[in-house]
Amino acid sequence: MFDSFERRDGPNERKKLQCNSCKRQTIHTLEAQCIGRWQEEFGCGHSADGGVEFSLYRCGACDEVCFETSSWCSEEYDHDDEGNIYLPRTEIQYPPPSSADFAFDTDFTPHDLNELIDEMLYALAGSKLKLATVALRMVVEFIVTDTKCAGRNLMRKIDDLHAKGHVDQNQLALLHKIREKGNAGAHERKAMNRNEMVAGIGLVNLLLEKLYNSPKRQEEIVKKANQAFQSDDDS
Report the alpha-carbon distance of residue 74 to residue 48 in Å, rounded. Answer: 6
Question: Measuring CA to CA, which residue among 71, 65, 87, 89 is closest to residue 17?
Answer: 65
Confidence of residue 42 (pLDDT cuts 50, 70, 90): confident
Of residues 233 and 35, the one with the higher pLDDT is 35
pLDDT over 70 at 192, yes or no:
yes
Q: Counting runs of H as helices and runs of E as strands, what totals does the chain give?
A: 6, 8
Q: Is 61 in a helix, a strand, or coil?
A: coil
Q: How confident is the model at residue 27 (pLDDT cuts 50, 70, 90)?
A: very high
Beta-carbon count within 10 A of 179 CB: 20
Q: How far apart are CA 60 and CA 19, in angstroms?
A: 10
Q: What is the mean pLDDT of residues 73-89?
A: 86
This prediction's pTM: 0.65
